Chains A and B, each alone.
Chain A
């Protein structure tokens, strides 16, 4: 669509854009959405897109088919993915060759290519329509309403789906107090992990006196294995801009900052462009939609420090300082950025706001359970079949996310644990598959909702090693300001390292627990206070594994290298010599057609032999 930039001065101007866009798109027979989420980018969706563009020019479809490069559609495991609308046919694992066929057979011929659609492994049948695929079927898309559905680069398409109508409604109908009242009624809580009611937060921002106030979007999504916020920023940047606009209007801030981690260059690029476009349309800047309210947004790029996801550390980082947290109180809403009242919201929270304003609190609150309303976006990853981005209603069964939406464990192995909340969260077991996914239920189990990372682990995962992994992460990311976190996480890590290397003692378990509880109780910021969670939950739910490590010096999952040996079963070995040739440290010896032997002293347990042995002759003991 041609990029022209009319300055919008009223609700009517907004409506005119929406009408024009809908009229324009009506004339197309098909819309082909090519997922441009990072997962699909890694799977080379750009090649698919250029093949598609080439083919549709060649076949003269310019006036009949609209091509959209969207944000993340969600099913990253099967990327690159493509959706053909209006039918809603979902093609996966696309290649340039395959897309050419889709153009010819589907777009022109009108026949769905079943072989390229989703294969349900349980039934062995293909499921062509997106709505029928279990992965999508149980999802409710509110925060992700536009992600994977629209052209992230088109403000008109965003407007056509009632974008910026939330802001128009706020200034024309609700007023500043009306916005936070609506949010309070909706029950929306912070999606960054802590779950503080957003309406209450904005109300405190509104009530706080101050000439200069700020609204800050926390896009420093640092949990390893979590990329919900990035998907939103890349797929629907305007929803975040509008959320900030509403926040700024409500609390009385005319300046907003988005703090994005440096690891997200594409998100920064798309958001910057969206901000530019919004400015050109007069949706950022002076006197927005004739409301008299002025607002603008600046992007600040982080520099690689997990702790900056903590809101006060983030403020220091925006100010160009070391990302060390500040003592609370005073809270940021009292004294935040550059000493001024500041409201900080996470990306997903902000993306929820405009649609709540448009559709009303009641609609939003109709999803969810108890004090957890609406939906939550999760990044499903790990040993799960369909990893990707999902949005589910609060209160869904944990087991439904893992087994129905996620398709269960890869390679049919038994499920062992699911970890939520990243380094601040906890591990839950198969006994918890019935737990309701909401703030309260997860906390009660010792886990947390967190920002949305959800890592599924199969039986080959060692929970002690997992605890060590998270401890290694937090101790590496500790800012060093306070003693419990700076020294405490280091000492916990050292003990865990001792345990996984077979040098642990039974008394270490008590020591770990005692120290972990003190760190939780005394650390200065959220990072330190939650750092022991993965350790404490695994100690609670997988104590037998810890005991196996410290008492019997064995690793039941066969992960901890110092406690396992690789052996070749002489019955199965055919003496093909492949393993001996591949072994990087020459630990395997044997003659041709004779059973081979592994020298345990030399063996580094790298696993090369196992992955190469065609006869399954190599075992871990």
Chain B
């Protein structure tokens, strides 16, 4: 009748144990669910169901409530991200200055749609609502680095530098 819908708790993997420890540090603190989710996401990378379940049990908040919060806020992700996070600013200034063309070109080059991760796991590609570089529109950020006044034609070059760095590391 009731199937085991997720893996039954056997020996918990060490990252999940870490998640549990992080969540425990928020136990009993009033209204700390969002802060706990931030901390857990930065440790685990994203917030899949099993991670949410740990947060729910530790903070004694019903799982659907936790998931309701996770899915409400765009900063929380239930899917793993690529190695690098590209955020294309589509704040008004960047929109007016041609940000959409940057998006179109990136979709074409990366072969994946906004909100998804490339097949090789290198890039996750998202839209940002203003990264505050309005004076330098259109802008994109890759991880913490901001690229200003982006011309769509420069994009292959920018991406290539990340692949190059990757090769160098390998």
A225, A263, A479: which contacts B93 (Cβ < 8 A)? A225
CB-based contact A323/B72 at 8 Å: yes
CB-based contact A39/B92 at 8 Å: no
Q: Which residues of A contact B132 (CB under 8 A)?
A: 38-39, 227, 230, 263-264
For residue A584, which residue of chain B has the nearest CB? Answer: B108
CB-based contact A227/B35 at 8 Å: no
Interface residue A301 (Cβ < 8 Å from any Cβ of B): yes
Interface residue B37 (Cβ < 8 Å from any Cβ of A): yes
Supposing A227-B130, A263-B132, A323-B73 touch, asked if A338 and B30 sit within 8 A by C-beta, the answer is yes
Binary CB contact string for chain A from 221 to 233 against chain B (1 if under 8 A, 0 otherwise): 0111111001000
Distance A222 CA – B98 CA, assembled complex (angstroms): 20
Least CB distance, A417 to chain B, in whole angstroms: 10
CB-based contact A381/B93 at 8 Å: yes
CB-based contact A611/B133 at 8 Å: no
Interface residue B122 (Cβ < 8 Å from any Cβ of A): no
Least CB distance, B131 to chain A, in whole angstroms: 7
Supposing A42-B139, A300-B34, A321-B69 touch, asked if A227 and B74 sit within 8 A by C-beta, the answer is no
Binary CB contact string for chain B from 24 to 59 against chain A (1 if under 8 A, 0 otherwise): 000000111111111000000000000000000000
Interface residue A50 (Cβ < 8 Å from any Cβ of B): no
Supposing A225-B92, A322-B69, A388-B135 touch, asked if A382 and B97 sit within 8 A by C-beta, the answer is yes
Least CB distance, B151 to chain A, in whole angstroms: 7
Q: How many A-B residue pairs have CB under 8 A?
A: 153
Interface residue B153 (Cβ < 8 Å from any Cβ of A): yes
Least CB distance, A36 to chain B, in whole angstroms: 13
Interface residue A149 (Cβ < 8 Å from any Cβ of B): no
Interface residue A443 (Cβ < 8 Å from any Cβ of B): no
Distance A388 CA – B129 CA, assembled complex (angstroms): 18
CB-based contact B93/A387 at 8 Å: yes
Supposing A230-B132, A381-B134 touch, asked if A42 and B146 sit within 8 A by C-beta, the answer is yes
Interface residue B81 (Cβ < 8 Å from any Cβ of A): no
Name the interface residues of B133-158: CB closer than 8 Å to any CB of A.
133-137, 139, 146-148, 151-153
Least CB distance, A78 to chain B, in whole angstroms: 8
A301, A338, A382: which contacts B31 (Cβ < 8 A)? A338
For residue A227, which residue of chain B has the nearest CB? Answer: B132
CB-based contact A262/B75 at 8 Å: yes
A301, A322, A473: which contacts B68 (Cβ < 8 A)? A322
Interface residue A203 (Cβ < 8 Å from any Cβ of B): no
Distance A449 CA – B148 CA, assembled complex (angstroms): 28
Q: Which of under 10, 10 to 19, 20 to 34, or 35 or more describes the interface residues of B?
A: 35 or more
CB-based contact A317/B135 at 8 Å: no
Interface residue B105 (Cβ < 8 Å from any Cβ of A): yes
Q: Which residues of A contact B166 (CB under 8 A)?
A: none
CB-based contact B135/A77 at 8 Å: yes
CB-based contact A382/B96 at 8 Å: yes
B34, B90, B91, B153: which contacts A320 (Cβ < 8 A)? B34
Supposing A300-B34, A304-B74, A323-B72 touch, asked if A224 and B130 sit within 8 A by C-beta, the answer is yes
CB-based contact A305/B72 at 8 Å: yes
Distance A470 CA – B96 CA, assembled complex (angstroms): 12
Distance A479 CA – B134 CA, assembled complex (angstroms): 26
CB-based contact B146/A41 at 8 Å: yes
Interface residue A542 (Cβ < 8 Å from any Cβ of B): no
Least CB distance, B146 to chain A, in whole angstroms: 4
Interface core residue of B32, B93, B134, B147 (most chain A CB under 10 Å): B134
For residue B66, which residue of chain A has the nearest CB? Answer: A320
For residue B148, which residue of chain A has the nearest CB? Answer: A42
CB-based contact A303/B34 at 8 Å: yes
Q: Which residues of B contact A38 (CB under 8 A)?
A: 132-133, 146
Distance A171 CA – B72 CA, assembled complex (angstroms): 42
Distance A608 CA – B153 CA, assembled complex (angstroms): 8
Q: Which residues of A contact B30 (CB under 8 A)?
A: 319, 338
Interface residue A68 (Cβ < 8 Å from any Cβ of B): no
CB-based contact B73/A387 at 8 Å: no
Distance A77 CA – B133 CA, assembled complex (angstroms): 9
CB-based contact A382/B152 at 8 Å: no
Please list the residues of chain B having a beta carbon within 8 angstroms of any beta carbon in chain A: 30-38, 68-69, 72-76, 90-93, 95-98, 101, 104-105, 108, 128-137, 139, 146-148, 151-153
| Beyond A38-B133, A381-B96, 10 additional pairs, beta carbon < 8 A | A41-B146, A77-B135, A227-B132, A263-B129, A302-B75, A304-B74, A338-B31, A383-B97, A473-B129, A608-B153
A-B contacts, 29 of them at CB < 8 A, read A38-B133, A38-B146, A39-B133, A42-B146, A76-B134, A76-B135, A76-B136, A223-B92, A224-B129, A227-B130, A227-B134, A300-B34, A301-B35, A303-B37, A303-B38, A303-B73, A317-B34, A318-B31, A319-B30, A320-B35, A320-B36, A320-B69, A338-B30, A381-B92, A381-B134, A387-B135, A388-B135, A455-B96, A469-B95
Please list the residues of chain A having a beta carbon within 8 angstroms of any beta carbon in chain B: 38-39, 41-43, 75-77, 79, 222-227, 230, 262-264, 300-306, 317-324, 338, 379, 381-383, 387-388, 419, 422, 453, 455, 457, 461, 466, 469-470, 473, 477, 479, 582, 584, 604, 606-608, 611-612
